[in-house]
Amino acid sequence: MAARAPSLLCMAWCVGLIAATSVPVLAQQGADQPNTKKTLSVPAVVAKVRPSVVTILTRGVPQNLPQHSTASGSGSGIIIDAGGYILTNNHLVEGVKSLVVGLANGRLTPGRVVARDFLLDLAVIKIAATDLVPAQLSQSLSLEIGETVVAIGNPLALKGGSSVTVGVVSALDRSVLAPNGETLYDLIQTDAAINPGNSGGPLVDLSGQVVGINVAVAPSAQAISYAISMEAAYPHIQSMLVRGSVFRPDLGFIPVTITPSIVASFNLDVDRGILAVQVDPSKAGGQAGLHSGDVITAVDNHQIYNMGDFWHVFLRRGEREPAQLAVYGKNGPFVATLPRAPFLQAAQ
């Protein structure tokens, strides 16, 4: 990350509200099917996937409004298991008081959030319903720049069910800065139109498999939309279903994204990076020389602006060597060496 990810001025969540059963085994439900060739027509893709797309209607407490105020919002989601689990965006359900899921057949049913992760902007909703049609999730990114993809969702909560837009893969492995101050990684860029309410809905290839979850648009440009890559999200979904959260290793400290309020509260001399708090001297972070109040500004010479940056670099695939942390401590800058291997093994 040589430079900070470009700021995403308006997410597709500007679209919506900023507003014990057996746990499915996604390796069985969502695995890539053999002989899945990308030869379906767009109408055939829509016919295959549209029954799995849902509308999510929410009521909650938006930011910057009094606690007693409520607002309604809408977004989309995709059924990932016949038992009633639905994948969507975290920003659609964060702070909500209640939500209702609209199925493709017109039925409305209450839902509840069972897992969410604000760094990945993913959430899982559970509903009690029968005859659900789960979508096929792609576990490996076989996309090529220029190939056709289909976005399905319910923009503006229009009556009559989900809408369809078609585009191409414009770029892969994009990263953007979200309004919550965290960086979203592993994004698919497409020119398929994403509008208010599409957030949380699927991006599908011509085999009918979900390759991404629509998340954002760039309003300052035309035909630039983003989807969370299913290849990147897939390994975390089972953890969310089992644990209610994404597994991240215990490094012996809590990383906190530095914001202006954090700078003021802790009287910091730096205005970017992550603040290490509650450092345990008996664990890896403390043994590496970190103390509560230290600021990590880079990992392996990659500048760090937020928690998303930190975890993305620390847990990057294929990297086993100890991480070199550039730290600004109370007595000046220093380098802390933090081992990766034990934590990567635990995450697998």
Per-domain boundaries in the chain: 10-243, 254-347
- Please tell me the least confidently modeled range out of 124-128, 220-224, 291-295, 327-331: 220-224
Choosing among 2.40.50.140, 2.40.37.10, 2.60.120.20, 2.30.42.10, the CATH entry for 254-347 is 2.30.42.10
Higher pLDDT, 150 or 197: 150
What pLDDT, on a 0 to 100 scale, did the predictor assign at position 330?
A: 85
62-86 mean pLDDT = 73
What pLDDT, on a 0 to 100 scale, did the predictor assign at position 346?
A: 53
Clarify whether 207 is annotated catalytic.
Answer: no
Exactly one of 170, 199, 207, 225 is catalytic; name it.
199
**The dihedral formed by the CA atoms of 37, 87, 89 and 56, expressed in degrees to the nearest 10:** 110
Higher pLDDT, 173 or 346: 173
- Please tell me the least confidently modeled range out of 5-9, 59-63, 171-175: 5-9
Choosing among 3.40.50.970, 3.40.50.2000, 2.40.10.120, 3.40.50.300, the CATH entry for 10-243 is 2.40.10.120
List alpha helices for 8-152, DSSP H.
26-29, 42-49, 90-93
State the amino acid at position 273 in one-letter form.
G
Beta pairing class for 183-190 and 202-204: unpaired
Residues forming beta bridges with residue 85, ordered by sequence position: 81, 126
What pLDDT, on a 0 to 100 scale, did the predictor assign at position 238?
A: 86
What pLDDT, on a 0 to 100 scale, did the predictor assign at position 30?
A: 43
8 Å CB contact between 148 and 166 = yes
Clarify whether 291 is annotated catalytic.
Answer: no
Exactly one of 117, 121, 186, 294 is catalytic; name it.
121
Higher pLDDT, 308 or 218: 308
296-315 mean pLDDT = 94
134-160 mean pLDDT = 86
178-200 mean pLDDT = 88
Residue 269: what are its φ and ψ, rounded to 5°? Answer: -95, -5
Exactly one of 74, 81, 91, 175 is catalytic; name it.
91
Clarify whether 199 is annotated catalytic.
Answer: yes
Place of tokens 């990992």: 299
Per-residue pLDDT band for 36 (boundaries 50, 70, 90) equals: low
Per-residue pLDDT band for 26 (boundaries 50, 70, 90) equals: low
Please tell me the distance from the alpha carbon of residue 228 to that of residue 215, in angstroms, as a whole number: 7
Q: Count Cα atoms within 13 angstroms, Cβ side, for 179.
A: 14
Q: Count Cα atoms within 13 angstroms, Cβ side, for 346.
A: 12
pLDDT-above-90 percentage for the chain: 60
What pLDDT, on a 0 to 100 scale, did the predictor assign at position 31?
A: 43
Please tell me the distance from the alpha carbon of residue 98 to that of residue 110, in angstroms, as a whole number: 8
SS3 readout for 122-137: EEEEEECCCCCCCCCE
**The dihedral formed by the CA atoms of 288, 289, 290 and 293, expressed in degrees to the nearest 10:** 180
8 Å CB contact between 38 and 206 = yes
pLDDT-above-70 percentage for the chain: 82
Higher pLDDT, 126 or 97: 126
Element (H, E) at 313: helix 307-314
pLDDT of 149 over the 90 cut? yes
What pLDDT, on a 0 to 100 scale, did the predictor assign at position 140?
A: 76
Higher pLDDT, 111 or 238: 111
What pLDDT, on a 0 to 100 scale, did the predictor assign at position 344?
A: 59
72-88 mean pLDDT = 91
What pLDDT, on a 0 to 100 scale, did the predictor assign at position 72?
A: 61
What pLDDT, on a 0 to 100 scale, did the predictor assign at position 137?
A: 94
Higher pLDDT, 18 or 325: 325
Can you tell me whether residue 307 is helix, strand or coil?
A: helix
Write the burial class of residue 128 (CB in 10 Å: 0-12 exposed, 13-18 middle, 19+ buried).
exposed
Can you tell me whether residue 148 is helix, strand or coil?
A: strand
User: Which of 277, 327, 270 has the alpha carbon at shortest distance from 298?
Assistant: 327
What pLDDT, on a 0 to 100 scale, did the predictor assign at position 348?
A: 53
Per-residue pLDDT band for 198 (boundaries 50, 70, 90) equals: confident
Please tell me the distance from the alpha carbon of residue 306 to that of residue 271, in angstroms, as a whole number: 11
Please tell me the distance from the alpha carbon of residue 288 to that of residue 291, in angstroms, as a whole number: 9
Phi-psi domain of 201 (left: phi exceeds 0; alpha: psi -120 through 50; beta: other): beta
- Please tell me the least confidently modeled range out of 10-14, 90-94, 231-235, 260-264: 10-14
How many helices and strands, by DSSP H and E, does the chain display?
Answer: 8, 19
State the amino acid at position 104 in one-letter form.
A
Can you tell me whether residue 156 is helix, strand or coil?
A: helix
pLDDT of 240 over the 90 cut? yes
